[in-house]
């Protein structure tokens, strides 16, 4: 049974939603189109759709279309998502019906962060592989996965983070004990000002 840790990251206010109807734009420093094999190579590429943005040193694709294709990105991959971002060495970005639907990133490690609406804390995570599902608005961290809200931490084989609801499920379906490790750090005490001394009575 999944361990649902609402207390770790809190419910907060729902994060911004991606506009899947926005047009897709592509910018690159250079491109190489192989007509015989119908392959494209872009260097210093940036792909944008609404508030989603993908950048990399190099991108390889089969045809310049976004109806149903996969793009392989390498080198300093940066993916901007609503209220957050992902970073890695390599990534595969999937397009369907002219929409960015999924991004799978790998690195040593791949990383993710999101600014929480409630309290302004920075949720951060890293793993061997991270999958961002645009439609479901979820980030799945797999392989030595770690996630923190800036104070508390959770580790597991797999962590599934719901961006919109700001909730995390750890090792869903696992039954082995000890697979999830949580560190809850005590909050710093709030400084309290000493009570003001009583006012002196006016002289008679």
For 12-69, what is each residue's pLDDT tens digit? 334 455 566 788 889 999 999 887 777 889 999 999 988 889 999 999 987 667 778 8
The pLDDT assigned to 179 comes to 76
Partners of 43 in the β-ladder: 30, 58
Higher pLDDT, 82 or 132: 132
Count helices and strands in the chain by DSSP H and E runs: 1, 13
**Average pLDDT across the chain, whole number:** 79
pTM of the model: 0.71
Give the mean pLDDT of 115-131.
81
The pLDDT assigned to 178 comes to 67
For 57-100, what is each residue's pLDDT tens digit? 999 987 667 778 889 999 999 998 877 889 999 999 888 888 88
The pLDDT assigned to 42 comes to 93
The band of 9, judged by pLDDT with boundaries at 50, 70 and 90, is very low
Among the listed ranges 19-23, 162-166, 185-189, which one has the minimum average pLDDT value?
185-189
Q: What is the CA radius of gyration of the chain?
A: 22
| Helix ranges, the chain (H) | 6-9
Cβ-defined contacts of 142-151 (< 8 Å, 24+): 144/109, 147/8, 147/9, 147/123, 148/123, 148/124, 149/8, 149/9, 149/10, 149/116, 149/121, 149/122, 149/123, 150/121, 150/122, 150/123, 150/124, 151/121, 151/185, 151/187
Give the mean pLDDT of 141-159.
87
The pLDDT assigned to 36 comes to 77
The count of other CB atoms within 10 Å of the CB of residue 7 is: 12
């Amino acid at each position: 049974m999944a361990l649902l840790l609402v207390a770790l990251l809190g419910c907060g206010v729902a994060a911004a939603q991606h506009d899947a109807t926005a047009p897709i734009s592509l910018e690159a420093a250079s491109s190489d189109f192989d007509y015989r094999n119908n392959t494209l190579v872009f260097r210093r590429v940036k792909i944008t759709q609404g508030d989603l943005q993908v950048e990399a040193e190099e991108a390889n694709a089969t045809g310049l279309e976004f109806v149903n294709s996969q793009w392989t990105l390498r080198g300093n991959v940066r993916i901007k998502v609503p209220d957050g971002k992902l970073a890695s060495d390599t990534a595969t970005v999937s397009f369907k019906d002219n929409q960015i639907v999924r991004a799978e990133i790998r690195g040593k490690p791949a990383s993710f962060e999101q600014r929480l609406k409630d309290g302004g804390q920075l949720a951060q995570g890293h793993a061997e592989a991270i999958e961002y599902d645009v439609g479901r608005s979820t980030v799945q961290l797999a392989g030595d996965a770690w996630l923190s809200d800036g104070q508390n931490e959770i580790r597991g084989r797999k962590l599934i983070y719901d961006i919109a609801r700001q909730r995390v499920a750890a090792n869903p379906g696992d039954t082995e004990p000890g697979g999830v490790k949580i560190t809850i750090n005590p909050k710093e005490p709030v400084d309290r000002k000493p009570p003001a001394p009583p006012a002196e009575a006016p002289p008679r």
